[in-house]
């Protein structure tokens, strides 16, 4: 199954085919070519689960493969922006650069963005583009705030005599990039299986809310960051992906709803509430949306 409906700006759903024939509202929320491009980007021609599908919760991927669902075209624009960035770079991959090749093995398949001389003219780097939020970027870069004493003390009030502090940024925190690291490492394995040596892995992350004050409050000062991805053992990555692929395959063959997505996969319910396209087809998602589940 696939996305069959768009969610209009005020929340009603309309079949994608109907929307593309004629807007059911007073005014189109986007140009027709943009909506057509979004509709095309939603078409799934690959039967086997891809690397990105396996990184999601098994239940989410199962529901996307077995039920019809609706998507908000505004949310899909980010994915479309990602494709636009690929297109911009595509015209400039002369030299020893491969781009956007889909590679497969017996477990899954994945399309890497760039491989080869993408940092300088002598390297063999695997690169991936991401368009992401300042929140995700702050966590991916390992940024966090600490309280630093100012040397002064409160002279009045409840905290009289206690030292005053101010917030300062630190950039050596834990980098929350496991999902990106698993994805890129799997592309590395697929390339190495074909004899391509991968010397380093990097993500070029664009901050989509860079112009908002919230990005500055999260210490995001640039629109683009290059993030180094460390190697994860092939054995661990393969075991992780094989286990998820096996569980998904079994659920699809036997036709049962897989176990609940993990708290990490469902972003402690934030995804179920606001971002999971199949939440309406998931018993747990419906409870969260109805306010009957508190975030874990
Ligand atoms: S153009 Fe926008 S508002 Fe009109 S039917 Fe399609 S999704 Fe709804
Ligand atoms: S609603 Fe939550 S638990 Fe259900 S599929 Fe979506 S992310 Fe997973």
What is the residue extent of each domain of the chain? Answer: 74-144+170-249
Choose which residue among 13, 22, 23, 72 to substitute to test ligand 1 binding: the one with the highest number of ligand atoms within 8 A of its C-beta. Answer: 23
Is residue 28 lining ligand 1, measured as CB closer than 6 Å?
yes
Is residue 73 lining ligand 1, measured as CB closer than 6 Å?
yes
Percentage above 90 pLDDT, the chain? 81
Per-residue pLDDT of 92-143, as tens digits, reads 777 788 888 899 999 999 999 999 999 988 889 999 999 999 999 999 999 9
Nearest ligand by distance to the CA of 20: 1
DSSP string, 89-150: HHTT-TTTEEEEEEEE-SS-EEEEEEEESSSSTT--EEEEEEEE-HHHHHHHTT-EEEEEEE
Per-residue pLDDT of 30-46, as tens digits, reads 999 999 999 998 887 77
Closest protein CA for atom 2 of ligand 2:
272
Is residue 14 lining ligand 1, measured as CB closer than 6 Å?
yes
Closest protein CA for atom 2 of ligand 1:
29
Is residue 279 lining ligand 2, measured as CB closer than 6 Å?
yes
Is residue 6 lining ligand 1, measured as CB closer than 6 Å?
yes
Per-residue pLDDT of 226-271, as tens digits, reads 999 999 999 999 999 999 999 999 999 999 999 999 999 999 999 9
Nearest ligand by distance to the CA of 14: 1
Measured in Å, how far apart are the chain's first and last C-alpha atoms?
A: 30
Ligand 1 atom having least distance to the Cα of 6: 7
Ligand 2 center to residue 63 CA distance, Å?
A: 9
Q: Can you give the pLDDT at residue 190?
A: 97
CB 220 within 8 A of CB 145: no
Categorize the per-residue pLDDT at 214 as very low, low, confident or very high, splitting at 50, 70 and 90: very high
Ligand 1 atom having least distance to the Cα of 12: 8
Is residue 261 lining ligand 2, measured as CB closer than 6 Å?
yes
């Amino acid at each position: 199954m696939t996305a069959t409906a768009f969610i209009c700006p005020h929340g009603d759903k309309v079949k994608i085919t109907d929307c593309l024939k004629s807007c059911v509202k007073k005014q189109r929320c986007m140009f027709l070519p943009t909506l057509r491009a979004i509709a095309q980007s939603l078409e799934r021609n690959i039967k086997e689960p891809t690397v990105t599908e396996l990184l999601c919760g098994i239940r989410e991927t199962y529901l996307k493969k077995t039920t019809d669902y609706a998507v908000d075209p505004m949310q899909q624009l980010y994915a479309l922006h990602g494709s636009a960035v690929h297109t911009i770079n595509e015209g400039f991959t002369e030299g020893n650069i491969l781009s956007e090749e889909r590679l497969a093995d017996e477990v899954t398949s994945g399309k890497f963005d760039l491989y080869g001389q993408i940092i300088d003219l002598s390297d063999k780097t695997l690169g991936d583009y991401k368009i992401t939020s300042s929140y995700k970027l702050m966590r991916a870069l390992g940024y966090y705030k600490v309280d630093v004493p100012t040397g002064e003390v409160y002279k009045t009030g409840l905290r009289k005599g206690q030292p005053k502090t101010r917030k300062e940024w630190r950039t050596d925190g834990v980098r929350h990039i496991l999902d990106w690291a698993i994805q890129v490492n799997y592309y590395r394995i697929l390339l190495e299986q074909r004899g391509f040596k991968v010397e380093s892995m990097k993500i070029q992350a664009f901050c989509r809310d860079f112009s908002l004050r919230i990005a500055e409050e999260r210490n995001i000062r640039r629109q683009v960051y290059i993030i180094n991805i460390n190697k994860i053992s092939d054995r661990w990555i393969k075991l992780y992906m094989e286990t998820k692929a096996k569980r998904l395959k079994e659920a699809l063959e036997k036709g049962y709803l897989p176990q609940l997505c993990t708290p990490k996969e469902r972003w402690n319910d934030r995804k179920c509430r606001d971002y999971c396209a199949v939440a309406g087809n998931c018993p747990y998602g419906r409870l969260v949306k109805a306010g009957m589940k508190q975030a874990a």
